[in-house]
């Protein structure tokens, strides 16, 4: 296992004439508040091909690091690094609670996915993945499409969730887990998981958010939706009869359930007092601005489904591709059905001990990691 301040491994690039440079920036990351004893943080730069990528490896006690690659135009290198640190730590918890033999990792390519994401950039990133030599396995995330993953897969073996040699887009599996987890939260809060007439506010209509809306609509839920893509909002209104909300206001609408399915950092001491939903159950990663903010939700009587528990379906799916014997769809979907049972156990323990749900969930994760190390 790597350690944060050990001598860095020399990374061998995949081509002789590569313009890619990969450096260990763990010590730089350690100065940030989001750092949490990460084993390694790598930075890949290729000025000719426009790549600035960060790969955070948080904890590999349970196995090699696994996590998606996000393409996002962070306003600064430090902001991108903070994102990588928070996301990779969340992946450690997600894999551990789900009982997967993987550790936590995450990558961020600092670029605008609509303007900067070229084949040359993706090719340089694929070289970085090859150079990491089994330390990190990745897949799709915000800004990285199935087509992008297929392109990278042709150049690097350590990417899952592809249509070429993989199981395809994991987003529908993520949505299925979120849907089942949302129903478990509703049952715990109200005594019934019936969605007919229940108002759900969905923030974000990407692959996961849209799939979740389909499932909710099919069971009679009423929807209010928001996205920065106004065309997606219009389609949701036409397809599901959804009410439309402004992207800046969706968190604060009157709703039974709030399902964040976009970016994280949403719930803080500033926003939590304004919330009007009784349940938070959505797909977004790192929904809390700080781990401690879950206590504010508890004090307001808002039931919070820890994001790294409810959204683990996609990780389960891509992890299954790496299992001995290869991908088994039926076995994977059976594992996804464990998500609501896990959440219900967390809710019950949190109630009994009067503790925030994410504290209970993180205790489960760290106990499994400690058991592995002992």
Compute the half-sphere exposure of residue 271: CA atoms within 13 Å on the CB side of its CA. Answer: 18
Residue whose token pair is 């002992």:
374
207 is in an annotated binding site: yes
Between CA 115 and CA 136 the distance in angstroms is: 27
Between CA 46 and CA 259 the distance in angstroms is: 38
Between CA 51 and CA 223 the distance in angstroms is: 39
Sequence-distant (6+) residues with CB within 8 A of 80 are 52, 54, 72, 74, 108, 110
Residue whose token pair is 């993953």:
149
Angle at 366 between CA 66 and CA 309, to 5 degrees: 60
Q: Residue 332 to residues 32, 93, 322, 323: CA-CA distances in angstroms?
A: 37, 19, 12, 11
163 is in an annotated binding site: no
Yes or no: say if 87 and 156 are a contact pair by the CB < 8 Å rule. no
The residues annotated as belonging to the active site are 106
Yes or no: say if 20 and 51 are a contact pair by the CB < 8 Å rule. yes
Q: Per residue, what are the HEC states of 310-355?
A: HCCHHHHHHHHHCCCCCCCHHHHHHHHCHHHHHHHHHHHHHHHHCC
| Token duo for residue 327 | 């991908």
296 is in an annotated binding site: no
| Token duo for residue 48 | 């000719």
Please list the alpha-helical segments (H only) found in 191-249: 207-218, 230-240
Break the chain down into helix, strand, coil percent, rounded to 5: 40, 15, 40
Residue 246: how many other CB atoms lie within 10 Å? 9
205 is in an annotated binding site: yes
Binding residues for NAD(+): 204-209
Binding residues: 204-209
């Amino acid at each position: 296992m790597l350690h944060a301040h050990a001598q860095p491994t020399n990374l061998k690039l995949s081509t002789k004439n590569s313009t890619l440079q990969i450096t260990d920036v763990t010590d730089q990351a350690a100065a940030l508040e989001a750092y949490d004893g990460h084993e390694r943080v790598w930075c890949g730069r290729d000025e000719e091909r426009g790549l600035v990528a960060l790969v955070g490896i948080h904890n590999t006690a349970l196995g090699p690091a696994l996590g998606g690659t996000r393409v996002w135009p962070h306003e600064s290198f430090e902001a991108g690094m903070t994102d990588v640190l928070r996301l990779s730590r969340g992946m450690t918890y997600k894999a551990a609670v789900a009982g997967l033999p993987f550790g936590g990792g995450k990558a961020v390519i600092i670029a605008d996915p609509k303007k900067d994401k070229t084949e040359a950039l993706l090719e340089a990133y694929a070289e970085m993945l090859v150079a990491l030599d089994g330390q990190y396995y990745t897949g799709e995330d915000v800004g990285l499409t199935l087509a992008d993953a297929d392109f990278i897969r042709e150049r690097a073996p350590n990417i899952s969730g592809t249509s070429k040699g993989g199981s395809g887009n994991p987003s529908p599996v993520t949505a299925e887990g979120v849907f089942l987890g949302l129903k478990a939260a509703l049952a715990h809060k109200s005594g019934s998981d019936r969605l007919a007439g229940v108002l759900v506010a969905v923030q974000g209509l990407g692959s996961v958010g849209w799939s979740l809306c389909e499932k909710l609509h099919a069971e009679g839920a009423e929807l209010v939706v928001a996205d920065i893509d106004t065309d997606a909002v219009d389609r949701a209104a036409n397809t599901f009869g959804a009410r439309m909300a402004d992207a800046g206001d969706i968190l604060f609408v009157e709703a039974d359930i709030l399902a964040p399915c976009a970016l994280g950092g949403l719930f803080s001491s500033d926003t939590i007092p304004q919330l009007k939903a009784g349940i938070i159950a959505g797909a977004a990663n790192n929904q809390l601005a700080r781990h401690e903010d879950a206590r504010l939700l508890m004090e307001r009587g808002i039931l919070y489904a820890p994001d790294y528990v409810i959204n683990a379906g996609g990780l389960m799916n891509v992890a299954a591709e790496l299992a001995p014997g290869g991908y088994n769809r039926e076995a994977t979907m059976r594992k996804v059905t464990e998500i609501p049972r896990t959440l219900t156990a967390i809710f019950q323990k949190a109630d009994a001990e009067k503790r925030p749900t994410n504290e209970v969930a993180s205790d489960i994760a760290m106990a499994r990691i400690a058991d592995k190390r002992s």
